[in-house]
Structure formats: C-alpha cells, structure tokens
C-alpha cells in the first residue's frame, strides 16, 4: 500500500507545483518524495502563475509576474501512517534570512515578446479550458464518495497542515494611469491546522466522524497607492536583488523607500474555526464556520477608487491592442509617420483580411478537423502523453472559441458510440465532499439525495491523478480506502447543510 501511495502523491505534487513554479526538477522531487520529505529552496514563480485570475475577471488580465520567488517549500508525507498522520506543507523563509520569503512583483503586459506572449496565451487557454472542461480534480471527483480519488482526497485533506509565512505581492503600473499606481497584499502568516473539539492542535484518526480545523490569518493587509513616486518604485531594481529587499522592507515597516502604504484594509488578524461532519447526521450542521476578526478597519478613498476605475478601463484597452503589438513600431510617432502607416496597414491586412482568405480558411478547417478527431480519441482512450502533446500543439494554432467548438463537436460524435458500448457510461454518485470541495463551491446543497451524474464517455475515470495506475493498482487502493469508510445516517432535505457566524 505504501508504494502505491507514493506513486499517487508524486503525481499530485508534480502536477500542482508545475503549474506555478519555473524550472522545477521533477526527478529531484520524485526522489525526495520516496523518503517522505521534500525541501525546495529559492524557487522561481512562473510568469503566467496568475493566469487563473482570468476566470474571476471574466476576460484575460494583461498582467504578468515580473519577478517572483518562494524562499522554501517543505513537504512532509508520512507514508507509513498516511491516513492518521498529517501531511505538512510549509512555505516560508529560509533560515539564512537572505530575503527569500514569498515575494511577487506583478506588472502590466505592455511590451511584446513573441515567446513570452505565446507562453501567456497558452496558460490562459489552459486555465479557461480547465474551467470549462474540468478534469477529475478535488472540485469534481471528490464528490464521488466511491471513487478512489474521492476517498483519498478527503483522507489527505482532513489531516493536511499548511503554513505560509511572509507573503508580499505587489503590482506596479506606470502605463495604465496618469500617475504610477501601486497595489499590494501583505500577509505575515497563514496557518491551517487540524484540532480537537477544544480547538487545540492535534492529529486525528482517518475514521474520525468530525474534523475540526483552525485557519489563522495574521497581519493581513491590502494597500493602494494611487499616486506613487516613480523614484520609489521597485520595478527598476529587478535586475538586482534589491527588489526583494524592498519587498521585505514593506513587510516589516509598511513602507518602501520611505513611501508609506495607503491601506484599504489595515493589518488585521482573522481566525476561522471550521467543524465538518464527515458522515452527515440528521439535525447536525454538515459544516459549521465561525470567523473572529480583530480590529478590522476598511476604507477606500476617492482617489483610490478613481485609480482602480481608470486601471480597469486601461485593461480593456490593453486587451484590445495586445493582438496588434507584434506589428507596432518601436519608434515615436514624430518624424516616423511612414513606419506608423505601415503598422496600420499590416495590422488590418494580417488581422482582418488574410484570416478570411480561402487558403487561411482551408488551413483552419484542416486544423479544426484534426483537433476534433484527436480529442474524440482522447475521450475514448483516455490519457496518453503523445496524444496530449499533439492536442497542445494544435491548441497553440487554434483560437479558444475554435477549441471549445471542436471539443463539443467531438463529444457529440462520441455519444452514438457510447450507446453501442455501455462500458463507456459510468454513473457517478454525488456526496458531501471535503473541506476544499466546500471552499471552492463544488458541492450542491440542493442536490437530491439519490442524484446520479451520468459520465457518458468516462472521462472522470480515464483522466486525472490516477492515469498512471494500472487497473490492479487502482483496485488495491480502492479496497484499502473502503476498509476505512464508516457508514453515516441518512440525510434528508430539511437537514442543516452549513452554518456560518462572524464576529
């Protein structure tokens, strides 16, 4: 059982870290995971690490991570007692104190770089497609109480400990507004621990009927400086290590280069206590949340509000002009009228005329058909590394709209095949889910007790974190997890789902 758990955890860790960390040595991580202890230091954050924000904003955010580091990530996985001992994740500063906390400097995308633009565009497509066509992650598969991932996910999450120290995320913009705008988030400490019924830190058995967690936010603040001094910005120092020193200074003094932060949210401490019934009981809240906020001060000045309004308007303009940046000359308009007229002509020809030529339409149609066939094969056969690489290559050449249409077209083609092959149809039973499924809104409090989701092509079972497991390995893991399960009472429609309180 231990070797099987190591195989699954290695896949999950590499999948998660790879989305946000740059130049991650997966082989080094896998070797460290074999011993149950992973220590990574001075890690670089990917330029597209914030692409997930596009889903919340509703359109692509023209921002990128200019510089980002994480001091140390420490991961402890107790394989010998995986379901009773906590999985501990620490994201913190190194003992040497060389300014290696979690520092992120974000700027707008205003300059064109072909390779960087391709990476950002690929990341945005990936995030949007993951939102529209979710893989069996905790959002989805954890709702299946009888699935391997659903049971394993809840076991891990219920005993997970998370500690994050010294976080400073700062956005600097000298292009979108008339005056330099600075927006920042500071966090001294965040911890999430499993506790007993008296809210004291402890370790619980995997069969515990009730799981208590305490999430503690210490010195959390948000600031907006609408008219920042250009001489006091951090961006000019990104070629040296001074930028990290400035962000460290901001955490300690709430000012950078003697420019104080103008707080929207003053430094505040918030402690959230959560109690979840792992096996639902009648007339007992399935989830009880109590948040205690100490001395919170929230304010937004007129100048801060106007700066944010101007920023979002500028984002819309930047998004419109971004596709023309590749043609834009890098010379001023004065005395360079010919170059700018050439720019206008090139933009119209390449963006509004050539895409509708017969050769372009024929090429697009060929790519669309090829992608549809490959995605159909992906639905029927499941995960395949070569197939995934071919799909990603075609996704780079197709627009997001074409990709979505091709995927829906492939699903329509698969439907008749699923009727001829019943083995492709899987009933997926919904359940209560775990802590994370509640936090990200994946559970449905109005769902019927006997509701069943029909997975026509079986993608929930064919993709995701267990694709590297054989059928025999998956069966062994499923059997071991089922031995840990204990039945709960029937839940009725009028039972209490969640209860919240804030003081």
- State the chain's mean pLDDT as an integer: 77
Classify the C-alpha dihedral 110-115-118-122 as positive or negative: negative
CA distances from 500 to 181, 274, 290, 312, 371 (A): 36, 9, 6, 33, 46
State whether 66 and 189 are in the same domain.
yes
Residue 475 lies in a domain: no
Question: What's the mean pLDDT in 427-433?
Answer: 45
State whether 34 and 165 are in the same domain.
yes
Residue 442 lies in a domain: no
16 — pLDDT class (breaks 50, 70, 90): confident
Q: Which of 312, 347, 366 is the last residue of a domain?
A: 312
Residues in the chain: 503
Q: Which of 285, 312, 339 is the last residue of a domain?
A: 312
Q: According to the model, what pLDDT value does residue 129 have?
A: 87
The helices-and-strands tally (H runs, E runs) of the chain is: 14, 15
Residue 44: helix, strand or coil by DSSP? Answer: strand
- Using the predicted structure, report yes or no on whether residue 444 has a pLDDT greater than 90: no
420 — pLDDT class (breaks 50, 70, 90): low
Q: According to the model, what pLDDT value does residue 205 have?
A: 64
State whether 242 and 385 are in the same domain.
no
CA atoms within 13 A on the CB side of 475: 3
- Using the predicted structure, report yes or no on whether residue 199 has a pLDDT greater than 80: yes
Helix axes 148-158, 471-482, angle to 10 degrees: 50
- In degrees and rounded to multiples of 5, residue 217 shows phi and psi of -100, 120
Residue 294 lies in a domain: yes
Residue 135 lies in a domain: no
Min mean pLDDT across 107-121, 379-393, 434-448 is at 434-448
Question: What's the mean pLDDT in 366-395?
Answer: 89
Give the count of beta carbons closer than 10 Å to the beta carbon of residue 435. 21
Higher pLDDT, 409 or 115: 409
Q: According to the model, what pLDDT value does residue 121 have?
A: 86
State whether 195 and 250 are in the same domain.
yes
State whether 217 and 303 are in the same domain.
yes
Q: According to the model, what pLDDT value does residue 430 have?
A: 44
Q: Which of 254, 286, 312 is the last residue of a domain?
A: 312
Do 108 and 175 form a contact (C-beta atoms < 8 A)? yes
- In degrees and rounded to multiples of 5, residue 499 shows phi and psi of -140, 130
State whether 368 and 304 are in the same domain.
no
* Alpha carbon distance 431, 447 (integer Å): 9
State whether 296 and 370 are in the same domain.
no
Higher pLDDT, 463 or 352: 352
- Using the predicted structure, report yes or no on whether residue 415 has a pLDDT greater than 80: no
pTM given for the model? 0.75
State whether 83 and 225 are in the same domain.
yes
Classify the C-alpha dihedral 89-100-296-227 as positive or negative: negative
* Alpha carbon distance 26, 388 (integer Å): 19
Residue 470 lies in a domain: no
State whether 252 and 389 are in the same domain.
no
Q: According to the model, what pLDDT value does residue 498 have?
A: 64
State whether 18 and 95 are in the same domain.
yes
Task: Dump pLDDT digits (tens) for 381-397.
Answer: 877 788 888 999 999 99
Task: Dump pLDDT digits (tens) for 86-111.
Answer: 666 666 544 433 334 688 888 888 77
* Alpha carbon distance 497, 282 (integer Å): 10
Q: According to the model, what pLDDT value does residue 437 have?
A: 47
Task: Dump pLDDT digits (tens) for 334-352.
Answer: 999 999 999 999 999 999 9
Question: What's the mean pLDDT in 18-38?
Answer: 79
Q: What percent of the chain has pLDDT over 90?
A: 26
Higher pLDDT, 459 or 222: 222
Helix axes 400-420, 358-381, angle to 10 degrees: 40
Residue 132 lies in a domain: no
Residue 20 lies in a domain: yes
**Domain region containing 416:** 357-423
Task: Dump pLDDT digits (tens) for 247-287.
Answer: 999 999 999 999 999 999 999 999 999 888 777 666 777 78
Q: According to the model, what pLDDT value does residue 485 have?
A: 54
Residue 408 lies in a domain: yes
> How many domains does the structure of the chain reveal?
2
State whether 303 and 365 are in the same domain.
no
State whether 200 and 298 are in the same domain.
yes
């Amino acid at each position: 059982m231990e070797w099987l758990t190591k195989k699954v955890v290695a896949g999950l860790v590499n999948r998660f870290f790879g989305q946000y960390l740059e130049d991650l040595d997966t082989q080094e991580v896998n070797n460290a995971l074999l011993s149950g202890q992973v220590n990574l230091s001075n890690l670089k954050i990917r330029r597209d690490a914030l692409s997930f924000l596009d889903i919340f904003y509703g359109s692509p955010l023209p921002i990128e991570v200019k510089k980002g580091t994480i001091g140390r990530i420490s991961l402890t996985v107790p394989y010998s007692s995986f379901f009773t001992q906590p999985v501990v994740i620490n994201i913190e500063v190194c003992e040497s104190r060389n300014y290696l906390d979690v520092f992120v400097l974000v700027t707008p995308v205003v300059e064109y770089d072909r390779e960087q633009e391709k990476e950002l565009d690929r990341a945005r497509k990936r995030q949007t497609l993951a939102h529209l066509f979710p893989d069996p992650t905790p959002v989805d598969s954890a709702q299946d109480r009888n699935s391997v991932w659903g049971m394993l996910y809840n076991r891990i999450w219920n005993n997970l400990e998370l500690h994050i120290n010294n976080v400073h995320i700062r956005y600097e913009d000298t292009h979108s507004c008339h005056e330099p705008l600075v927006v920042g988030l500071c966090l001294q400490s965040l911890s999430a621990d499993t506790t007993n019924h008296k809210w004291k830190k402890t370790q619980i058995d995997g069969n515990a009927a009730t799981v208590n967690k305490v999430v503690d936010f210490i010195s959390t603040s948000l600031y907006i400086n609408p008219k920042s001094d250009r001489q006091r910005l951090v961006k000019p120092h990104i070629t040296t290590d001074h930028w990290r020193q400035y962000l460290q200074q901001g955490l300690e003094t709430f000012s950078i280069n003697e420019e104080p932060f103008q707080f929207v949210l003053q430094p505040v401490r918030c402690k959230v206590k959560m109690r979840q019934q792992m096996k639902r009981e009648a007339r007992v809240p399935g989830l009880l949340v109590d948040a205690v906020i100490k001395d919170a001060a929230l304010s937004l000045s007129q100048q801060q509000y106007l700066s944010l309004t101007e920023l979002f308007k500028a984002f819309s303009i930047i998004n419109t002009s971004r596709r023309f940046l590749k043609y834009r000359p890098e010379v001023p308009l004065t005395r360079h009228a010919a170059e700018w007229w050439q720019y206008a002509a090139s933009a119209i020809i390449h963006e509004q005329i050539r895409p509708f030529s017969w050769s372009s339409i024929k090429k697009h149609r060929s790519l669309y058909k090829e992608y549809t066939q490959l995605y159909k094969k992906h639905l029927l056969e499941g995960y395949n590394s070569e197939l995934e690489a071919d799909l990603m290559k075609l996704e780079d050449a197709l627009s997001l709209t074409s990709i979505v249409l091709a995927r829906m077209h492939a699903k329509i083609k698969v439907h008749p095949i699923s009727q001829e092959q019943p083995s492709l149809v899987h009933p997926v039973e919904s359940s209560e889910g775990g802590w994370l499924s509640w936090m990200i809104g994946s559970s449905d409090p109005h769902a019927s007790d006997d509701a069943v989701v029909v997975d026509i092509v079986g993608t929930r079972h064919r993709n995701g974190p267990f694709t590297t497991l054989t059928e025999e390995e998956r069966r062994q893991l499923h059997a071991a997890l089922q031995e840990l399960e204990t039945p709960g009472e029937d839940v009725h429609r009028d039972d209490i789902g969640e209860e919240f309180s804030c003081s």
